C-alpha cells in the first residue's frame, strides 16, 4: 500500500477541517484549495489534478444543479403561497404534534424506494420547514427523521441502484435483500430518526431557512392540503412509473417503443420536477390570484438560496473525485483482502473505509461488493446469508458522511446548519445507521 497516498488523503481531510472549523474560510473555497493540495501530496500531475477537479465538479453539477434549481423553485412557491404550511397543518392534525416526526420518517422511508435521495429530499424538505415554523420547535426534530427514512431506504432496499448493484455482484436473491432491508431498516430508521431527532432538538435549536420578507399569504385562505399533496406526488409517481417500467421486471418489447419513450422522458427527475413546478405555479399561484411580480420575486429568492448549495455540492463532488483518482480507498480495501474476517464484517469494513476516504456511498458499495465477492465463492453460504452481507455493505457505505461527501453540504445548507452542526447531526445520524445496520444484520446472520 502506498503510504504517501494514504497520508495525502488523511492530511487533506485534516487540513479541510482546520480551514473550515478553525480559520472559518468559506467552505467552497476551502474545498477547492484542499483538492489541489491532496493532488500535489499524492503526486498527481498538475494537469490531472485540474482535470479531475473539473470532472468531479461537472459530473456532480450536471444532475444536482438542475435538480436543486428546480427543487428551489418548487419549494419557494410551496412556502410563499402557504401550501407547505397547509400541508404541515394537515399532518399535525392527523398525526398530532408528538407523532409528526414519525410521519416524516415514514414518508421518507416510502418515497425513497423509487426516488433518488437528493430529489426526494428537495421535494419534501419544505414540509419540515413549515412544521418547524408551525410548532416553534427545532428544524432537526422534523428534518432528521425525514433524512433517516430517505437514507436507509436508498441504501438498503431495492430497486434503488446501490443494493441492486451489490446484490448482482454477490449473486444475492433480490427477494431476500428486500426482506432483510425492510427488517433491518425499520429499527435503524426509528433509532436514527425520531429518537435521535428528539435528543438533538433539545440541544440544537435550528430555525428553518426562509425568505427575507415575511410570507404574504392569508392564514385563513390556504391552499387545500390535498392539492399540495397531489402536486408533490406527481413527480414521485412519474419517477416511480419510469423506474418500474424500465426495470428488468418488465420483459423486453412488452411496452411499445413510443410509449416507453414518453415514459422515460416524463419520468426523468428533470422533466418530473418541471411538470411539478408548472402545476404548482398555476394551481397554487396564478389560479389563486398571485401576480406576476410575486411569482418573479419568489423565483429570484429561490435561486439566491439555491446558489450556495449548488456551488458547495459541486466542490464536494470535485473533492470526492480527487480522492477516487488517488485510489486510496480501493488500495486499503485490497490490503485487507488476505486477512481473516467474517464475510459480513469484512464487507462492512471495506465499504466503510472506502466511504470515509472518498465519500460516495454508491462507489463504496460497488467497490466493497467487488472485493468481497471472491471470498464468497469459497464459502458455502445460503441465500439469506448473502442477502445480509448486502445489507451490511450498504450499512458501511452509508456511514459517517463528512466533508468529502456532496450530500454533507447539500443537507447542511438546506437545513441552515453550520459545518459543526452538520457533523453533530447528519454525520452522527449516518454513523448510527452504519453501526445499527451492522449490529442488526449480524444478529440475523448468526441466528440463521
pLDDT digits (tens, 9 = 90+) for 162-173: 787 788 778 888
Residues 6 or more apart whose Cβ sits within 8 Å of residue 71:
119, 122, 123, 273, 306
Cis-peptide, bond into residue 352, ω within 30° of zero: no
C-alpha cell at 351: 465499504
Band of residue 114 on the pLDDT scale cut at 50, 70, 90: low
Position 1 confidence tier, pLDDT thresholds 50, 70, 90: very low
Give me the half-sphere count of Cα atoms (radius 13 Å) on the Cβ side of residue 202. 5
pLDDT average, residue stretch 44-58 = 89
Mean pLDDT of 401-423: 88
Smallest Cα–Cα separation from 410: which of 391, 426, 396, 431?
426
Q: Is the pLDDT of residue 395 over 90?
A: yes
Q: For 193-208, how does the pLDDT look when each residue is reduced to its tens digit (9 = 90+)? A: 999 999 999 999 998 8
Domain parsing of the chain, residue ranges: 61-160+182-197+213-308
What percent of the chain has a predicted confidence (pLDDT) above 70? 88
To the nearest whole number, what is the mean pLDDT of the chain?
Answer: 82
Residue 339 has pLDDT above 60, yes or no: no
Confidence of residue 334 (pLDDT cuts 50, 70, 90): low
- Do residues 400 and 357 make contact, with C-beta atoms less than 8 angstroms apart? no
Q: Determine the pLDDT at residue 301.
A: 73
- Averaging pLDDT over each range in 15-19, 96-100, 153-157, 189-193, which range is the top one? 189-193
Q: What's the first-to-final CA gap in the chain, in angstroms?
A: 37
Average pLDDT over residues 431-448: 94
Which one has a higher pLDDT value, 271 or 95? 271
The answer on pLDDT for 295 being more than 90 is: no
What are the pLDDT digits (tens) for 134-187? 889 999 999 999 999 999 988 888 766 678 778 877 888 877 888 898 899 999
**245 vs 443, more confident:** 443
Q: What's the average model confidence in pLDDT over 108-114?
A: 71
Cell numbers at 71, concatenated: 427543487
Any idea which of 77-91, 151-165, 393-407 has the lowest mean pLDDT? 77-91
- Closest of 117, 158, 146, 206 to residue 390, by C-alpha: 158
Residue 372: alpha-carbon gap to chain centroid: 25
Nine-digit cell at 368? 466493497
Residue 291's pLDDT is: 65
pLDDT reported for residue 101 = 92
Which cell is 2 given? 502506498
pLDDT at 213: 43
Q: Which of 118, 116, 109, 76 is nearest to 297 (CA)?
A: 76
Name the pTM for this structure: 0.70
Name which of 117-121, 129-133, 278-282, 436-440 the model is least confident about: 117-121
Cα(175)–Cα(168) distance, integer angstroms: 12
Instruction: Tell me the per-residue pLDDT of 233-253, one tens digit each, with 9 for 90 and over.
Output: 888 788 778 877 876 667 777
> For residues 334 and 338, what is the distance between their CA atoms, to the nearest angstrom?
8
**Contact between residue 275 and residue 235 where contact means Cβ atoms under 8 Å apart:** yes
Q: State residue 190's pLDDT score.
A: 95
| % the chain with pLDDT above 90 | 24
Burial of 120 (0-12, 13-18, 19+ CB in 10 A): buried
Angstrom distance (rounded) from CA 3 to CA 8: 8
Mean pLDDT within 419-443: 95
Burial label, 198 (beta-carbon count in 10 A; 0-12, 13-18, 19+): middle
Amino acid at each position: 500500500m502506498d503510504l504517501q497516498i494514504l497520508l495525502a488523503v488523511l492530511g487533506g481531510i485534516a487540513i479541510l477541517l482546520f480551514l473550515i472549523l478553525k480559520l472559518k474560510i468559506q467552505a467552497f473555497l476551502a474545498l477547492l484549495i484542499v483538492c489541489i493540495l491532496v493532488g500535489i501530496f499524492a503526486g498527481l500531475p498538475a494537469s490531472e489534478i485540474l482535470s479531475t477537479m473539473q470532472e468531479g465538479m461537472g459530473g456532480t453539477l450536471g444532475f444536482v444543479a438542475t435538480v436543486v434549481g428546480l427543487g428551489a423553485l418548487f419549494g419557494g412557491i410551496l412556502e410563499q403561497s402557504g401550501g407547505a404550511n397547509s400541508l404541515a397543518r394537515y399532518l399535525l392534525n392527523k398525526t398530532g404534534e408528538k407523532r409528526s416526526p414519525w410521519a416524516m420518517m415514514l414518508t421518507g422511508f416510502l418515497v425513497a424506494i423509487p426516488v433518488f435521495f437528493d430529489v426526494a429530499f428537495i421535494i419534501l424538505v419544505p414540509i419540515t420547514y413549515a412544521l418547524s415554523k408551525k410548532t416553534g420547535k427545532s428544524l432537526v426534530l422534523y428534518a432528521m427523521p425525514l433524512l433517516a427514512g430517505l437514507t436507509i431506504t436508498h441504501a438498503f432496499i431495492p430497486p434503488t441502484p446501490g443494493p441492486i448493484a451489490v446484490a448482482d455482484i454477490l449473486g444475492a436473491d433480490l427477494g431476500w435483500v428486500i426482506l432483510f432491508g425492510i427488517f433491518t431498516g425499520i429499527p435503524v430508521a426509528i433509532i436514527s430518526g425520531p429518537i435521535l431527532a428528539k435528543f438533538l432538538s433539545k440541544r440544537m435549536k435550528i430555525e428553518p431557512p426562509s425568505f427575507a420578507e415575511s410570507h404574504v399569504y392569508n392564514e385563513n385562505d390556504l391552499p387545500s392540503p390535498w392539492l399540495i399533496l397531489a402536486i408533490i406526488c406527481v413527480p414521485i409517481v412519474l419517477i416511480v412509473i419510469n423506474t418500474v417500467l424500465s426495470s428488468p421486471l418488465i420483459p423486453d418489447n412488452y411496452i411499445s417503443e413510443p410509449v416507453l419513450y414518453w415514459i422515460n422522458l416524463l419520468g426523468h427527475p428533470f422533466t418530473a420536477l418541471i411538470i411539478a413546478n408548472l402545476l404548482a405555479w398555476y394551481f397554487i399561484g396564478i389560479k389563486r390570484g398571485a401576480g406576476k411580480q410575486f411569482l418573479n420575486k419568489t423565483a429570484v429568492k429561490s435561486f439566491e438560496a439555491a446558489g450556495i448549495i449548488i456551488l458547495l455540492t459541486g466542490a464536494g463532488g470535485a473533492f470526492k473525485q480527487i480522492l477516487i483518482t488517488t485510489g486510496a480507498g480501493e488500495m486499503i480495501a485490497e490490503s485487507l483482502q488476505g486477512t481473516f474476517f467474517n464475510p459480513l464484517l469484512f464487507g462492512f469494513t471495506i465499504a466503510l473505509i472506502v466511504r470515509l476516504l472518498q465519500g460516495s456511498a454508491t462507489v463504496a458499495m460497488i467497490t466493497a461488493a467487488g472485493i468481497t465477492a471472491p471470498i464468497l465463492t469459497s464459502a458455502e453460504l445460503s441465500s439469506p446469508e448473502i442477502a445480509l452481507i448486502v445489507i451490511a455493505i450498504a450499512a458501511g457505505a452509508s456511514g459517517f458522511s463528512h466533508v468529502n461527501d456532496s450530500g454533507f453540504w447539500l443537507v447542511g445548507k438546506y437545513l441552515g446548519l453550520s459545518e459543526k452542526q452538520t457533523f453533530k447531526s447528519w454525520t452522527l445520524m449516518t454513523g448510527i445507521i452504519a453501526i445499527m445496520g451492522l449490529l442488526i444484520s449480524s444478529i440475523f446472520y448468526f441466528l440463521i
